[in-house]
Chains A and B, each alone.
Chain A
Amino acid sequence: MDLAPVESLGYFVPELILGVAVIGTILADLLVRRKEVLAVAALVAVVLSMLASVLMLADTPDTTLFNRMIVHDQFSLYFKIIFGLAAFATIWMSMDSREVDQVSQGEYYALLLASTLGMYFMATSTNLLMSYLALEFVSLTSYVLTGMLRNNRRSGEASLKYLIYGGVASGTMIYGMSWIFGLAGTMDYAGINEALTTSSPASSLALFIGVVLTLSGLGYKIAAVPFHMWAPDVYTGAPIPITAFLSVGSKAAGFALLLRFFYPALSSLGDDGQWQALGGAGWPQIILVLSMLSMTIGNLAALQQDNIKRLLAYSSVAHAGYMLMGLVVLSDEGLRSVLFYLVMYYMMNIGAFAIVMLVANATGREDFDSFRGLAWRGGALPAAAMAVFLFSLAGIPPFAGFIGKFYLFAAVIRAEMYTLALVGALNSVVSLYYYARIVRAMFLDEPDGSEETVSLDWSTGGLVAVLTVGTVVFGLYWTPVIGLADRSVRFFLG
């Protein structure tokens, strides 16, 4: 079904809610004096938008909207829920963050909501141009959010670096898209797919070049090696809630775009859930290499970090590598494991950043020293929660991260790619070392008395509790999530 603009609005409710909320926040900023109201309003808007997405999960027909610009299908709904969750946790963290107290609240929340809206478009667009615009939308808002801490030099530096890298990446990307457009004669994903299926492209090398160039923009968004250079600086400089948002929301959005671009557009689905890359462009091999590089370089670089945010930045590069494994295998099973992993990753990574924020609020620092003896200076509960998140990130049972990795490895082994599985598994072992360094600082090292005490307040405590429980429960029983991921690997092309 293809819908014209006006009929499309019925399927556009989640986006509309956010759009209204963006404008509403800006206007309200002028009117209300108590700025906490803005955060609550943003929170409510995100919840409503998520609710609308959840309600649509049940049997709304798949359709393209706005003259085939964006699409409404199970896949996009799944991602909208993830973005909603990420925005929700970010806003919650922002309310408790000391850093965010200094910034102009109206702009901050409006930009955050706008960024989330952009992510929605990244997951729904089925047109090269629309994809590009959505990506730019998210990037532009992210640049500003990163540089929000006006009195902090690192924040400004991070913003500038982000902008420069982003500019180059998106320029390369749109150049690549123009190659694809030239070969397929259309910007519509379905059209590209059809053009590649019916006749092989004039030159598969040209297609390959186009794909690789486009990949640079997408790789930048998910922070995969070699497009990851911005991540450590940006993650370190940005306010902590924004770092959490970038590491989960932005990455998930990048994956949404990546999946839709490579799967329904550039490959075709066989009967048995196996995909076939079209037009002789060997992009699966490229992604294989990127996956291995991301895991290995991310993990090795993380070993040497002294700033926790920087360490988590490299860890997030490595996690992009793990998730890319799911794309290499060209099967529905692999795709579903990526979708599944994103949910697990959401809980543990946001959780870890929430604890970093808690410690930063108390100590004003984010290095190993600020975590030293955390468990022995009043912070036993946050330290325990952090240990859960970190071990989960390392992929140790019985936590969610293990199950996520388990599905990824299962897909890889199913496809009989043992070398990749081995590289991934060995990387998990390496990663344990740096995650355990933080655990060691918190539990094994004694505080020397110079550190501030850290205690958990109810607000952050609530968020951390929810995420910890989620990380443990999904590590033991995950059938509902995998079921949802399973039925969300359904792209609609029209």
Chain B
Amino acid sequence: MNILTLMTFIPVVGAIVILCLPRDKDNWARWGAVVTTAIPLMMAVSLFINFDRTQDEGFQYEVIANWIPSFNIQYHVGVDGISITMVLLTALLSFLCIFASWGITKAVKAYFALFLLLDAGMMGVFVSLDFFLFFVFWEVMLLPMYFLIGIWGGPRKEYAAIKFFLYTLLGSALMLISILALYFNTTDPLTMTNTFDMVMMMDQANHSEWLRGGQIFGQSVPLVIWTALFIGFAIKIPAFPFHTWLPDAHVEAPTAVSVILAGVLLKMGTYGILRINFPMFPEATAQLAFYFLAAVGVVNIVYGALCAMAQTDLKKLVAYSSVSHMGYVMLGMASFTEQGINGAVLQMFNHGTVTAMLFLLVGVIYDRAHHRNIDGFGGLAGVMPVYTGFVAIAFFAALGLPGLSAFISEALVLLGSWQQNPMLTMIAALAVILSAGYMLWALQRIWLGPLNEKYADIEEINRREIFTLVPLAALVIYLGIYPTAVLDLMGASLNSLNGVVSKFL
């Protein structure tokens, strides 16, 4: 069977099995979840090893099967350089998050079953090549997320859960209409019928006249559909001004869910733009993204950093730092240079690992102190040296210290974007100071300085927590020294995508 199919559906099987377990077998549920995320992780490793890094056109590990023939809906999955990094990230974070969820005691079986469904939904989004399938996975993910935040979340969980759900669904509604408009205006050249196949939609030769240059609501069709799709994805990124769901959701969600939210879900927005907006409407992309997307990216960087600086809740600070860091992804994508676009996708991967570490670390301290007030601690480095070591790696990575992974991607983004938008790049580069500011300031207030006597006996980080952090820390350091390991994977596909789009500049 196809490896991608297995990676997507093994967690579903795991979820069903866990739900059927007898009462009071909470540990069985935990280990079941470990097994059903470990298998996809091993498959991801084999994908990483066997992936053909030179192929710049088309997809690998592709499988196509009829699903609903009357509407030409297919089960079509595959990976290329853009999606493989996200597949790897999803598999890794899902596995680690199971361990980060070990302390969950309320309705354990339901928690892990929902978590596995979420895993399947995320994996499905990254591997689908049929737009209908993509949409189904995109939406399916919302349900477990709603319950995971809503049932296992913090004090304002109800509000955060529904806000997240409604925001995303608003984007989905626009996306659904765009998908249907695309369907009715894309013709499969072989069968001469309409198709949902994303690969077909990426070839403008299959588009109808109307889709290429018609008018709708007094505007050009490609621009309108591009914008509708973009709003759907921008909500997920989240791009300013659609970002307000994010701090709420992150703060209320349990640790592992925050990790998944920031580590994987946010990437779906930028992934969607690269997978759908860029190749399907290269001309509209060139027109709109060049200034607009770059500007939104810079606003995200600066605004996110300023908000982060103002926070008193450590988790909220990390949440806003995500808004800021996702801005680099948009800025890089909008540069239409090879450095920029490669840097953007590398930043997606690196942000996934760094922010996952940050949220895990926040979880560690919250589990012990039951609050996350930045000013409520002090001098923790003295009592929790190992923990502080990990904190240092994550914080320095997040502020872009050379030698750690995020530096490489941010540098690539700035390098690429400088060639096109020196002014915006300058602002973005200066914002690095802001991010150093909020990170170091928080570091100083919590971990350095005189010890807060209240926490003199605080327990050091335990083995399970170290186990979740070590692989991420290793990746952060390794990719800081040798980013080629990931750049290699995506280079060929991204450069050819960049070629398609940038010829319209």
Q: A-side interface residues toward B, CB under 8 Å?
A: 391, 396-398, 402, 406, 409-410, 413-414, 418, 421-422, 425-426, 428-429, 432-433, 436, 439-440, 443-445, 477-479, 482-483, 486
Contacts and interface: CB of A to CB of B under 8 A. Distances in A.
Contact of B162 (A398, A413, A440, A486): A440
A413 B166 contact: no
B177 interface: yes
B135 interface: yes
A31 B278 CA distance: 75
A429 B150 CA distance: 18
A422 B174 CA distance: 7
A421 B140 CA distance: 22
12 contacts: A397-B135, A398-B139, A398-B140, A410-B184, A421-B180, A429-B169, A429-B170, A433-B166, A436-B146, A436-B162, A440-B162, A445-B158
Nearest to B19: A384
Contact of B157 (A409, A444, A482): A444
Contacts of B71: 410
Which 6 pairs show the lowest CB-CB distances between chains A and B? A425-B173, A413-B180, A397-B136, A444-B150, A397-B139, A429-B169
Nearest to B174: A425
A413 B157 contact: no
Nearest to B171: A429
Contact of B177 (A397, A409, A486): A409
A428 B166 CA distance: 10
Contact of B150 (A410, A432, A443): A443
Contacts of A440: 150, 158, 161-162
Contacts of A439: 146
B137 to A, nearest CB: 8
Chain B contact residues: helix, strand, loop or mixed: helix
Contacts of B139: 396-398, 402
Contact of A413 (B158, B169, B184, B217): B184
Most B Cβ at <10 Å: residue of A426, A436, A482? A436
B31 interface: no
Given A409-B180, A443-B151, A396 B143 contact: yes
Contacts of B157: 444
B142 A396 contact: yes
A469 to B, nearest CB: 14
Contacts of A477: 67-68
B383 interface: no
A414 B143 contact: no
B216 interface: yes
Given A398-B140, A479-B70, A483-B70, A418 B162 contact: no
Contacts of A413: 177, 180-181, 184
Contacts of B169: 396, 428-429, 432
B158 A444 contact: yes
B177 A425 contact: yes
A422 B224 CA distance: 13
B63 interface: no
A433 B173 contact: no
B51 interface: no
Interface string B157-187: 1100110011001100110110011011000
Nearest to B214: A416
Contact of B217 (A418, A428, A444): A418
B69 interface: yes
A12 B428 CA distance: 77
A483 B184 CA distance: 20
Contact of B151 (A397, A414, A429, A444): A444
Interface string B367-408: 000000000000000000000000000000000000000000
Contacts of B216: 418
A432 B165 contact: yes
A473 to B, nearest CB: 13
A479 B142 contact: no
A494 B183 CA distance: 37
Given A397-B139, A436-B165, A478-B68, A429 B146 contact: no
Contacts of B99: none
A478 B73 CA distance: 12
Given A410-B71, A429-B166, A436-B146, 8 more contacts: A398-B140, A418-B177, A418-B181, A428-B173, A433-B166, A436-B162, A436-B165, A477-B67
For the side of the interface on B, what is the size category? 20 to 34
Contacts of B217: 418
Contacts of A479: 68-70
B142 A425 contact: no
Contacts of B165: 432, 436
Contacts of A486: 70
Interface string B122-145: 000000000000011001101100
B366 interface: no
A355 B151 CA distance: 21
B147 interface: yes
Q: Which of B70, B146, B181 has the most CB of A within 10 A?
A: B146
Contacts of B142: 396
Contacts of B135: 397
Contacts of B69: 479
Nearest to A406: B176
A428 B172 CA distance: 10
Contacts of B174: 425
B150 to A, nearest CB: 4
Contacts of B67: 477
B483 to A, nearest CB: 37
A418 B216 CA distance: 9
Nearest to B194: A414
A421 B143 contact: no
B184 A414 contact: yes
B2 to A, nearest CB: 18
* Most chain A beta carbons < 10 A, residue from B68, B161, B177, B181: B177
A250 to B, nearest CB: 29
A386 to B, nearest CB: 13
Contacts of B170: 426, 429
A299 to B, nearest CB: 13
Contacts of B146: 436, 439
Contacts of A398: 136, 139-140
Contacts of B161: 440, 444
Contacts of A421: 177, 180
B30 to A, nearest CB: 20
A104 B403 CA distance: 82
A391 B70 CA distance: 25
A171 to B, nearest CB: 40
Nearest to B175: A425
A442 to B, nearest CB: 11
A397 B143 CA distance: 9
B176 A409 contact: yes
Nearest to A475: B136
A443 B176 contact: no
A214 B245 CA distance: 47
A329 to B, nearest CB: 13
Contacts of B173: 425-426, 428-429
A115 B134 CA distance: 44
A483 B67 CA distance: 14
Given A425-B176, A443-B151, A479-B68, A397 B140 contact: yes
Contacts of A418: 177, 181, 216-217
B230 to A, nearest CB: 16
B21 to A, nearest CB: 14
Interface string B37-80: 00000000000000000000000000000011111000000000
B482 to A, nearest CB: 41
A402 to B, nearest CB: 7
A482 B183 CA distance: 18
**Which of B67, B71, B139, B173 has most chain A Cβ within 10 Å?**
B173
A291 to B, nearest CB: 16
Contacts of A482: 68, 70
A428 B140 CA distance: 16
